């Protein structure tokens, strides 16, 4: 609905209102109401472009002089933000990006990894920084850094090179980098980084990762015979079956591990990246779980915790499946791309950033939440 009075324009956008006071001043006001009808408005490319630019400018104001964000010793955070900005159309030659990439380069080690010295997060940090350098890799400028990081990540993956056999629950997975326990979130980052580095689904690292990812699914099959496989059996995913098993959503009364949405989208995305056929029962079971728990208001199973990470995996998974619409378990069809885009725009703060009131997993840090929001928008409406 457009109501135009002289030079004042009101445009309903999802659960927000875009108010235009002529060509040079536009404001996004309003809050998310949770009403599904509010998410039906078509995507307005100009509004998305404006929201993206406001997010970029917010991060421009929060960058430290050394090129980092949030902490000078957290390359994972700065790498995520750098990737988000590059995916948002910021040129690698932009002074902000030059500083950011120079800062990330200080974490490159002779072993090819990109991590803080003595870090316990070598896989996480290297995976994210690889994606940042690849996003900035004009004319092969960072080919060497990307290739070395790719090889380093393969060495971190739990496989027979560490005398971990395929029947070991850890096989094919990746943890933060030092822990004996691999998990689905870190394995998903590993797979995404390998894919960005040009590793195809036939590569042993990808095939091995599928073994671990399958064991993180609540689905009993020949791919998953862990002690947790049959206790929930709803097709969703949890954090890890290793080291006694863990779900951030908690255990069930019978000792199962509850499925939750951010890990289910991460598991689904990871399987497709690694070449699992969309018709495979594992993919189909995960998708049925998603149909049953479709939501923009929360990270199902976790409430508000990890909400922006959830939006990010939500968008990437459904985009990878090439879905135009998603029919939920009630039979309602969702133009998920439009709904999520408008919902994200409605959540943007006046200063241009995003932030989660639930601080778990660093989403109370507006730099981190804004990075996830911009990465999500880059999938939903790619920057030109």
pLDDT of residue 179: 62
pLDDT of residue 21: 34
369 conformational bin, left if phi > 0, alpha if psi -120 to 50, beta if neither = alpha
3-class state of residue 1 by DSSP = coil
In DSSP terms, which residues pair with 18 in a beta bridge? 11, 28
Instruction: List the 26-29 sheet strands across, edge first.
Output: 2-5, 8-13, 16-21, 26-29
113: tokens are 């990894």
pLDDT of residue 38: 45
332: tokens are 């309602």
Q: Please check whether residue 175 is in contact with residue 120, taking contact to mean a CB–CB distance below 8 angstroms.
A: no
Helix (H) or strand (E) holding 287: helix 281-292
pLDDT of residue 162: 83
Q: Distance between CA atoms of 123 and 178, rounded to whole angstroms?
A: 8
- Residuewise pLDDT in 10s, the chain (384 residues): 333 333 333 333 333 444 433 333 344 443 333 444 445 679 999 999 999 999 999 999 999 999 999 999 999 999 999 999 999 999 999 999 999 999 999 999 999 999 999 888 999 999 999 999 999 999 999 999 999 999 999 999 999 888 899 999 999 999 986 567 999 999 999 999 999 999 999 999 999 999 999 999 999 999 999 999 999 999 999 999 999 999 999 999 999 999 999 999 999 999 999 999 999 999 999 999 999 999 999 999 999 999 999 999 999 999 999 999 999 999 999 999 999 999 999 999 999 999 999 999 999 999 999 999 999 999 999 998
User: Exposure pattern of 101-133 as b/e (b: 16+ CB <10 Å)?
Assistant: bebbeebbbeebbbbbeebebbbbbbbbbbbbb
361: tokens are 């997993």
Question: How many helical (H) and strand (E) elements, i.e. helices and strands, does the chain have?
Answer: 12, 6
Q: Distance between CA atoms of 374 and 372, rounded to whole angstroms?
A: 6
pLDDT of residue 161: 84
Q: Distance between CA atoms of 73 and 107, rounded to whole angstroms?
A: 9
Q: Distance between CA atoms of 160 and 278, rounded to whole angstroms?
A: 28
3-class state of residue 285 by DSSP = helix
244 conformational bin, left if phi > 0, alpha if psi -120 to 50, beta if neither = left
Report CA 160 to chain centroid distance, whole Å.
Answer: 29
Of residues 248, 237, 85, 240, the one with CA closest to residue 174: 240
Of residues 222, 289, 212, 278, the one with CA closest to residue 249: 289
Q: What is the DSSP-derived secondary structure letter of residue 277?
A: -
Domain spans of the chain, in order of start? 46-380
Q: Which CATH number fits domain 46-380: 1.50.10.20, 3.40.50.720, 1.10.760.10, 1.10.510.10?
A: 1.50.10.20
Q: Distance between CA atoms of 255 and 236, rounded to whole angstroms?
A: 16
Q: Distance between CA atoms of 263 and 233, rounded to whole angstroms?
A: 15
pLDDT of residue 163: 85
pLDDT of residue 4: 34
CA dihedral 327, 278, 312, 189 (to 10 degrees): 160
Residues in the chain: 384
């Amino acid at each position: 609905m457009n109501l135009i009075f002289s030079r004042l324009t009101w445009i309903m956008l999802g659960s927000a209102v875009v108010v235009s006071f002529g060509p040079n001043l536009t404001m996004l006001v309003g809050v998310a109401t949770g009403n599904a009808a509010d998410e039906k408005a078509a995507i307005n490319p100009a509004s998305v472009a404006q929201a993206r630019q406001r997010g970029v400018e917010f991060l421009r104001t929060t960058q430290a002089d050394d090129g980092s964000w949030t902490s000078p010793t957290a390359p994972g955070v700065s790498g995520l933000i750098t990737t988000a900005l590059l995916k948002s159309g910021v040129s690698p030659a932009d002074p902000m990006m030059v500083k950011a990439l120079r800062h990330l380069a200080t974490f490159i080690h002779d072993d090819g990894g990109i991590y803080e010295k003595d870090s316990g997060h070598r896989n996480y940090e290297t995976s994210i920084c690889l994606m940042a350098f690849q996003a900035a890799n004009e004319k092969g400028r960072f080919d060497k850094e990307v290739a070395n990081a790719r090889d380093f990540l393969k060495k971190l993956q739990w496989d027979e090179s560490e005398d971990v056999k395929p029947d070991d629950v850890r096989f094919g997975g990746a943890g933060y980098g030092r822990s004996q326990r691999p998990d689905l979130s870190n394995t998903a980052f590993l797979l995404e980084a390998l894919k960005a580095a040009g590793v195809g689904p036939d590569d042993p690292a990808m095939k091995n990762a599928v073994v671990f990812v399958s064991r993180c699914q609540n689905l009993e099959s020949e791919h998953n015979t862990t002690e947790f496989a049959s206790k929930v059996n709803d097709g969703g995913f949890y954090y890890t079956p290793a080291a006694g098993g863990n779900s951030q959503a908690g255990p069930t009364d019978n000792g199962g591990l509850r499925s939750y949405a951010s890990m289910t989208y991460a598991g689904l995305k990871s399987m497709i990246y690694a070449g699992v056929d969309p018709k495979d029962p594992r993919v189909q079971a995960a998708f049925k779980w998603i149909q049953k728990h479709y939501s923009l208001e929360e990270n199902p199973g976790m409430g508000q915790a990890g909400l922006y990470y959830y939006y990010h995996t939500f968008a990437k998974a459904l985009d990878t499946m090439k879905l135009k619409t998603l029919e939920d378990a009630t039979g309602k069809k969702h133009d998920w791309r439009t709904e999520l885009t408008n919902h994200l725009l409605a959540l943007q703060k006046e200063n241009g950033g995003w932030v989660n009131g639930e601080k778990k997993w660093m989403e109370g840090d507006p730099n981190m939440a804004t990075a996830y929001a911009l990465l999500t928008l880059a999938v939903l409406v790619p920057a030109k």
